[in-house]
Amino acid sequence: MAKKRPQTKAKRPQLDDAEVPVVGAREPCPCGSGRRYKACHGRTAAQATTALVQRPFEGLPGECDWVALRELVPAATVGLTLRDGLPEGVPSVTLATVLPMAWPALRRDDGSVLLGLQNDTASGDISRDLADTLARALTADPGTPVQGRRAPADGPRLQDLLSPEGAFEPQVHSGFEFWVPDPENATPDVTASLERANAAAIPTVRLQGVDAAYWCETPDKNHLRWVMPHEEERLLDALARLHAAGRSSLGEGTRLVGSFRAHGLTVPVWDLPSEISAQDIEKPAAEFAERLAEALATDAPLTHDERRARGGLTNRQVTLS
């Protein structure tokens, strides 16, 4: 009998990861593996866009205020400085907590750009999603909103588009009139959205004497919510030392009640009597900042009472993101 010839398979060209183009999820992967794209390089691409970035605003000027405007402040705007300057025809770029109809961004009739911060994002990296929206808004037709989408995994982040030297100075508003330059001539949809947003906005004031601390008024009591840049474990130790020593309040009738965790930073929260205004809390907050700095500089092990206080603070911590 004649010997059977060994059958050989044609060797498919193999591509480097960087060379593999994006195709349909059920199509053969262009890398030559023989598997569908979604089970091969598509899986890697999907993981890259969904992996959660714990501190998306790290490295930006005003990281703590970015977190506050994303999670805590109803109505605020900030002028942004682009790394490469403003493109022709774009007189300004402004970050806003919320835009009408929850638009991710808006190119106004005069060419200026508004970028919304409190929108849902499609990937695990808020910074990349916002940068993608901003880049598209800069080239959108004047007078048009920009819709959200999943940003490319290799697209720029805010840290790539914004100047590292640009100041980040939030302006807190009592309402959302900044949405439209001429409210009397706004469309019915925008007017209705404006009225709904104004009705839901909690009165909020940014303190002037310390960074990223926001007073807010609610029906039963007022609060101070203070986004802090310190490493979480170290900050909780320091707060526990002050709490155990009876030095964590901001004056008579005030109380440190716990903290939020948001975008990699910790946000201590104080309850305040309803009669205490933002102006009233300026001096106590500045004095607390000095006490906190001393506690942060202490490396001694926590005492029994301090560990107990720390446990109480940890049990009352809520994660926002």
Q: Tell me the pLDDT of the chain (321 aa) as tens digits.
A: 444 444 444 444 455 555 566 656 677 888 878 787 667 766 655 554 568 899 999 999 999 999 999 999 999 999 999 999 999 999 999 999 999 889 999 999 999 999 999 998 888 999 999 999 999 999 999 999 999 988 998 999 999 999 999 899 999 999 999 988 877 777 788 788 788 889 989 999 999 999 999 999 998 899 999 999 999 999 999 999 999 999 999 999 999 999 999 999 999 999 999 999 999 999 999 999 999 999 999 999 999 999 999 999 999 888 876
Q: Is the pTM of this model over 0.85?
A: no
What type of residue is 220? D
d(CA 30, CA 119): 35
For residue 276, give the nearest of 201, 227, 230, 207 by alpha carbon. 207
pLDDT in tens, 156-201: 999 999 999 989 999 999 999 998 887 777 778 878 878 888 998 9
Pick from 55, 230, 232, 257: nearest CA to 158:
55
The side-by-side arrangement of strands in the sheet containing 113-116 is 144-146, 105-107, 113-116, 93-96, 76-79, 171-172
CA-to-CA distance for 232 and 191, rounded, in angstroms?
42
